[in-house]
Structure 1
Amino acid sequence: MKHFFTLVLIAIALRGLCIDAYFNHIVFHTPEGGAYVETHMLFNSSSLTFRNAAEGYQARVELTYIFEKNGAIADFSKNIVKSPFVSDSVSAIVDFLDVQRFPLAANDYKLSIKLRDINNPKDSGTIIQNIRVESPPESAFFSNILYLDTIYPNNGKKSPYSRGEFDMIPRISGYHGPSVKTASIYTELYQSEISLGGSEDFIVTLDIVDPKTDQALTEYRILKRFKGNSAQPIAHKWNIESLSTGNFLVKLEARDRNNVVIASKSSLLQRHSFVPASDSLDDFQINSTFVGKIRSEDSLRNITYCMKYAASIYEENYIEENWDKADTTELRRFIYTFWRERNSVNPAYSWERYEERIAYVEEEFDLGNNRRHACRTDRGRVFLKYGKPDTRVIQSREPNASPYEIWHYYKLPSKSNAKFVFYDRSLVTNDYVLLHSNVPGEQVDYSWYLQLSTPSVLPSGNDEPLSNSGQVIDYNNLNGIQMNSVGSRALEYWNNPR
């Protein structure tokens, strides 16, 4: 069966979880009018616990997807995703990917993504994402552009990666780091016969475009010829060894025999390489800028890591891979380019404002005793990503409750009336963990109120926890529940930030 699909690429770092994972999804449409959502989940093995098994060490993650439409479950799955076997847990550095497909009708859905490390169950959490399945248009259109890690013939053996006669292993984003020598894409053009009025010839141009000049890089231009049809798969691989560091667009255009564009699509390709951009400074010039004020190697690496919370998904991938192992010259160039991209007139100003945030985080959320750096704590991450909260409730000595904080932001880009709850599980370390938030993409735990309670006051002996009045607690609707036996005012602070 041929599949029409519109790819909606939302490479999302699932923050607020102990498990480091990235998610995106694709929406497929079929000629019969049905639709499928294809999910991609990439796991960072270094964030998982490996246990010895018969064939070596292996990580296992319980992955649950729940699609809800108007409050009702439309589809769901629960699977154990297993890493490749490795010879020992120290060398467990191979990331692994899960791909699934769900038949869904055109509508808006709330997707709950639940992750649990089977080998370390305390590492778990839930993230909420909104998914839209749209009906296809009535003329020619491209799917969005899917970046590929690998493509190879499947010899008739179908798998979740199969498209026709090939298996295609997706990349989680359009970021291509220094070790990547090629950029491979896959897309499909649908309903070209409608726009062409039949099976006429047409061409598709594939370009890599510099968005600063809106000019295609001629050495990368490709032309492919096809005949009008209902679904035309298109794949290509460029050698990008000579492509300099920077943001580019992969741009596709389908043109009829009169050179009229009948469909077009573009997607961001971000390149980080050892080839300097044409307008970049040399190393001596960079060291004479604000970057030259960063003296020690430890500071340079820590600053690079802290910048991940201001980074795009592509830049974040680079930081994750290189902050602790790239040479200092490369990191200085990255820091300078990072802030120049955000403020070409005065990059030092933008850097200094962010540096002030880092300094505040280091002082306010320090764990002491040379333990994990403050910007790697949950409070440090949220502060660096979203800025100073408009209100901050600090409760460190409330009876029968763990120390906790509730942060409130009047308005964030993705959420108004945004809130975060942190708590110190150990009671003494100052390492407050994000427990719950109403911000999309952050940790969700509707039982957060009970998690604040110290063990001596938690309900026991029942399958479901009861409130002090005896009714079963609805985790999805905690407003108005009185928990006097716990003594916590957390719900009051949550509902009425101050």
Structure 2
Amino acid sequence: MFGRSFGLWKILLIMKKHFFALFLPFLFLALAGSSQDNMEVHLRQCQFFAPQKGTYVETYLMIPGNQLQYPRNQEGKFQGAVEVTMYFEQDGQVQAVEKYNLKSMALEDSVFVQDGLVDQRRFLLDPGTYHFKATFKDVHQPELTHTITDTVKVSAPDQQQVAVSGIQTLENFSQKEEETQFNKHGYELVPKVTNFYPKGSDKLRFYAEIYNTDEKLGDEQFLTTYYIKNYQSGKVLDEYGGFQKMEAGDRKVLLKSISIEDLETGNYNLVIEVVDQNKTLLAKQSFFFQRSNPAQTSDYSTKMAGQDIENSFVKNFGKEEVAYQLESMAPIANARKTRQIYQLLRNDADKETMQRFMLRFWQNRDPADPYGAWYQYSKKVEEVNKHFETPQRHGFETERGRVYLQYGAPNEIISSPREPGGDPYEIWHYDQLENQGTAKFVFHDEDLVTNNYKLIHSTANGEIKNENWKSKIYNTFPGDDSDMKQGKSGGQDHFGRSADEYFDE
């Protein structure tokens, strides 16, 4: 699919006499335009990598529809069209070219015009530096034109290193299996061509791909965090962002939406970071955008700075101890707070900032007795460390420790240290989890040495699910465990294997 390019328009109708431009050209023209241009055009580019194929450049185009002519077509309806030519040239040779007419929808009434003609194209290109040129001309008024030129450097990720693609911002996205030029991995992604978010545009939606985590990490899981930071000051805005734990693979997808309803006017970067289980930064990508929200102000920094720690229980914690406390709180923190904790630790925040964060965290959980809430939790952390600690990790850093702290003690733990042809595993049963009823967790010890059991399957909402989890325990290929309940797979005797029985109890 990457050897071709595609076109589609997004249909948005408004009354012609009420049309006005929401965006100023200098805010979002990603490429250079000619001084002779008299057509308004907005264009962005983003690079992705397709394993076994190579790097492809996606172009996202939006042409406001109110400037076009809409004569009648052969069916008697009103329709505008723009002649578009794009090409990538290298050493005097054209390496990729597209020339086509981008048409509006056919309209019944000329009082209505199409708000924006939106188009997306894909160009498969070898690594190198290219001269890019795009020209645009209204088919029905040839004097209305626009030319864009740019130098584009195409690169391919090092196969031995983790990398993040460009960040594609979106107007919206939805699940859709049908193949279109806007479709990726089962989702239709309608591009947002501008980087300007006015008041009322309150969602920052984006798509990115993460490459080569399997080559770098093997079977280890990794963490992808995303957040917004102020462009001028570099300050990370703790309220905006989140994280997602992922299984390693050659290409992993990050598709997210951040509410920016309360984000004040300013210049910002959206940042994506990939870290391993030791919190080592593996890859990073960013996208610059502008926000206009005049009535909104942020008071988060003021609240944090004004937090009184002098007469609180956190005052006596030294820097190393308070850092340990923050890390141990991550299993019960929500996505935003967890990301804030990791940000404080990675940035080596000062002791007072971490103390204020810790105090505020426990005040939010129990305003009447924050110390009591922390003390009870600290006892659970001690218990988790005692039972689940490994040579490399505290107990609360392990999968079993995290589940225990997040959901509480299970009603039943079935431990199987040795079965014929299988690795050690545990199955935890919960009779009742909040808002979801019963739940089961399956943990697997694949190295047989460190006591670091990994979660490989769960029925709980938001946890990892793998219907072929038994193949990990019994070292079979996915699908080979279909008749384990009958005691055989591939003609071999599997007497003594009890995972199904333990799971179904």
TM-score by length of structure 2 reads 0.50
Alignment size in residue pairs: 272
Indicate which of 133, 138, 142 corresponds to 2:164: 142
Partner residue, 2:126: 105
What is the alpha-carbon root mean square deviation over aligned residues?
Answer: 2.5
2:242 is aligned with 1:208 = no
1:48 to 1:10, Cα distance in 2 relative to 1, 3 A: closer
Write the deviation string for residues 209-256 of structure 1: whole angstroms up to 9, x where unpaired. 234443332222312111111111001111211111111221221111
Partner residue, 1:62: 83
Partner residue, 1:404: none
2:30 is aligned with 1:11 = yes
2:179 is aligned with 1:158 = yes
Match runs of 1:118-267 below 5 Å: 118-137=139-158, 138-154=160-176, 156-196=177-217, 198-267=218-287
1:129 to 1:269, Cα distance in 2 relative to 1, 3 A: closer
Q: Work out the CA distance in 1 between the residues paired with 2:222 and 2:87.
A: 42
Q: Residue 106 of structure 1 contacts residue 132 of structure 1 at CA under 8 Å; is this kept in 2?
A: yes
What letter corresponds to residue 217 of structure 1 in structure 2?
A: L
Indicate which of 47, 71, 96 corresponds to 1:51: 71
Larger displacement relative to structure 2 (175-184 or 48-57): 48-57
Partner residue, 1:37: 57
1:92 to 1:236, Cα distance in 2 relative to 1, 3 A: same
Residue 272 of structure 1 deviates from its aligned partner by: 0.6
1:31 to 1:217, Cα distance in 2 relative to 1, 3 A: same
Q: Work out the CA distance in 1 between the residues paired with 2:172 and 2:94.
A: 34
Rg larger for: 2
Q: Work out the CA distance in 1 between the residues paired with 2:79 and 2:32.
A: 23
Partner residue, 1:393: none
1:204 to 1:81, Cα distance in 2 relative to 1, 3 A: same
Partner residue, 2:488: none
What letter corresponds to residue 263 of structure 2 in structure 1?
A: L
Q: Which runs of 5+ in 2 are unaligned?
A: 4-27, 300-505
Q: Work out the CA distance in 1 between the residues paired with 2:107 and 2:228.
A: 38
Write the deviation string for residues 177-233 of structure 1: whole angstroms up to 9, x where unpaired. 11312110111111112332x020111111122344433322223121111111110
Q: Work out the CA distance in 1 between the residues paired with 2:64 and 2:204.
A: 22
Q: Work out the CA distance in 1 between the residues paired with 2:202 and 2:261.
A: 5
Q: Residue 27 of structure 1 contacts residue 38 of structure 1 at CA under 8 Å; is this kept in 2?
A: yes
Match runs of 1:334-349 below 5 Å: none
1:28 to 1:247, Cα distance in 2 relative to 1, 3 A: same
SS in 1 for 2:30: strand
SS in 2 for 1:57: coil
Residue 81 of structure 1 deviates from its aligned partner by: 0.2
SS in 1 for 2:290: strand
Partner residue, 1:303: none
Residue 278 of structure 1 deviates from its aligned partner by: 4.8
Q: Work out the CA distance in 1 between the residues paired with 2:212 and 2:223.
A: 14
Write the deviation string for residues 318-354 of structure 1: whole angstroms up to 9, x where unpaired. xxxxxxxxxxxxxxxxxxxxxxxxxxxxxxxxxxxxx
SS in 1 for 2:48: strand
Q: Residue 148 of structure 1 contacts residue 184 of structure 1 at CA under 8 Å; is this kept in 2?
A: yes
Q: Work out the CA distance in 2 between the residues paired with 1:41 and 1:73.
A: 21
Residue 43 of structure 1 deviates from its aligned partner by: 0.5
2:96 is aligned with 1:75 = yes
Q: Residue 253 of structure 1 contacts residue 264 of structure 1 at CA under 8 Å; is this kept in 2?
A: yes
SS in 1 for 2:201: coil
Q: Residue 14 of structure 1 contacts residue 23 of structure 1 at CA under 8 Å; is this kept in 2?
A: no
Residue 267 of structure 1 deviates from its aligned partner by: 1.6
2:116 is aligned with 1:95 = yes
Partner residue, 1:268: 288
Write the deviation string for residues 264-323 of structure 1: whole angstroms up to 9, x where unpaired. 2222231112433459xxxxxxxxxxxxxxxxxxxxxxxxxxxxxxxxxxxxxxxxxxxx
Q: Work out the CA distance in 2 between the residues paired with 1:125 and 1:19.
A: 5
Partner residue, 1:116: 137
Q: Work out the CA distance in 2 between the residues paired with 1:44 and 1:13.
A: 18
Q: Work out the CA distance in 1 between the residues paired with 2:125 and 2:174.
A: 29
Q: Work out the CA distance in 1 between the residues paired with 2:76 and 2:96.
A: 34
Q: Work out the CA distance in 2 between the residues paired with 1:29 and 1:206.
A: 20
Q: Residue 14 of structure 1 contacts residue 22 of structure 1 at CA under 8 Å; is this kept in 2?
A: no
Residue 95 of structure 1 deviates from its aligned partner by: 0.7
Q: Work out the CA distance in 1 between the residues paired with 2:69 and 2:33.
A: 18
Q: Work out the CA distance in 2 between the residues paired with 1:141 and 1:47.
A: 41
Residue 163 of structure 1 deviates from its aligned partner by: 0.5
Write the deviation string for residues 77-123 of structure 1: whole angstroms up to 9, x where unpaired. 21110113344434325111111112221222222212121111222
